[in-house]
Amino acid sequence: MFRFEHTYFLYFLLLIPLLVLLYILIIRKRKQAIRQFGDINVISQLMPSVSNIRPVFKFSILLLALSFLIIGLANPQIGSKVEKVKRSGVDLVIALDVSNSMLAEDIKPSRLERAKQAIMKLIDKLEDDRIGVIVFAGKAYTQLPITSDYGAAKLFVSTVTTNMIPTQGTSIGAAIELADKSFDFKMTGKNKAIIIITDGENHEDDAIAAAKEEAKKGVFVHTLGMGLPDGAPIPIYEDGKLTGYKKDNEDKTVITKLDETMLQQIAATGNGIYIRANNTEVGLNVIMKEIAKMEKKDFESKLFSNYKDHFYYFIELALILLIIELLLFEKKSKLMSKVNLFGQNKTINH
């Protein structure tokens, strides 16, 4: 498929016929001026080095160079045809905990950053699946609706911070219910899954009941525990610098610990699996193997062609033509003026 990236430059091609018209008018005016001095054929013999063809040839080269330059600026591109194709995959929603406890550094560099890194790697491995992202703390919000645009998914995940939701807590149930609204249940089959990434601490709603409802609908609910059993303090940063650790009302440092029991129950109720992350392996690969076993659903998706730029060919041609035009002179060379193409010898009789 062929197209111009910047089509508005092509309007400058309208200058070409105008320049041709202007050049013709200049030539005619020049001939009229010469006729005032006498017969044009006689005057031409008095100026043997003057060429009538070379100026026209030079002007033609300039016009051609200008045309190539304009086309180059418009940037011709060639790519494959845009068309709709059917793709088969699953709908996957990742619910990421962004509560302050996810800043704990028992998993390096922190629970949240390690989770984001793992999600990025997961997205890189997706092929025909669609993905959505939900963030939650005391409340849940859709960060990215279900999409097959993996570039957008990675961009949105990279912007996730604990400052996104002011209400603290861990409302896993709210995240599951919001994920449920992201799915299209008109498409039947067990081709939908939720991955909850959290430390599971301070849960505030009935996440097990929410997971049970999803299981009834054929949605798999997997849980990924971020944190170590011994726990870690919650760091406090100001302007990117560590200023201390969160403390309770008795001025004791708060230690946030992974609630494995809760996450195991959610996964079991949701027909999913539970994996605990550590400093060597996050565990999303194990969950993705389970997702790979799921039923696939067909959905239409647009494939947009990757256009390749070809402007440089036209810019190069324009430069070559300009160099040729500079090397050509309007007057005949001495060598060419001595050449008698028709074998005629002219003598002047006194």
| Overall number of domains in the chain | 2
The reply to whether 132 falls in a domain is yes
Closest C-alpha among 198, 202, 227, 235 to residue 106: 227
Mean confidence (pLDDT) of the chain? 84
Give the pLDDT score at 215.
95
pLDDT tens sequence across 20-39: 999 899 888 877 776 776 56
Does the pLDDT at position 314 exceed 90? yes
CA–centroid distance for 194 within its chain = 26
Statement to judge: residues 69 and 118 lie in one domain? no
Tell me if 134 sits within 8 A of 143, measured CB to CB. Answer: yes
Amino acid code (one letter) for 159: T
The reply to whether 346 falls in a domain is no
Q: Is 234 helix (H, G, I), strand (E, B) or coil?
A: coil
Give the pLDDT score at 349.
44
**What are the φ/ψ torsions at residue 204 (nearest 5 degrees)?**
-120, 0
42: containing domain:
2-79+308-337
**What are the φ/ψ torsions at residue 248 (nearest 5 degrees)?**
-90, -170
Statement to judge: residues 208 and 64 lie in one domain? no
Statement to judge: residues 103 and 225 lie in one domain? yes
Q: Quick one: pLDDT band at residue 233, thresholds 50, 70, 90?
A: very high
The reply to whether 348 falls in a domain is no
Statement to judge: residues 14 and 108 lie in one domain? no
Statement to judge: residues 89 and 167 lie in one domain? yes
The reply to whether 31 falls in a domain is yes
- 145-174 average pLDDT score: 91
pLDDT tens sequence across 252-306: 998 998 888 999 999 999 999 999 988 777 788 888 888 888 888 776 666 556 6
Q: Using CA atoms, how far apart are residues 165 and 162, in angstroms rounded to an integer?
A: 7
The reply to whether 345 falls in a domain is no
Percent above pLDDT 70 for the chain? 83
The CATH number of residue 259's host domain is 3.40.50.410
Statement to judge: residues 44 and 134 lie in one domain? no
The reply to whether 71 falls in a domain is yes
Statement to judge: residues 127 and 178 lie in one domain? yes
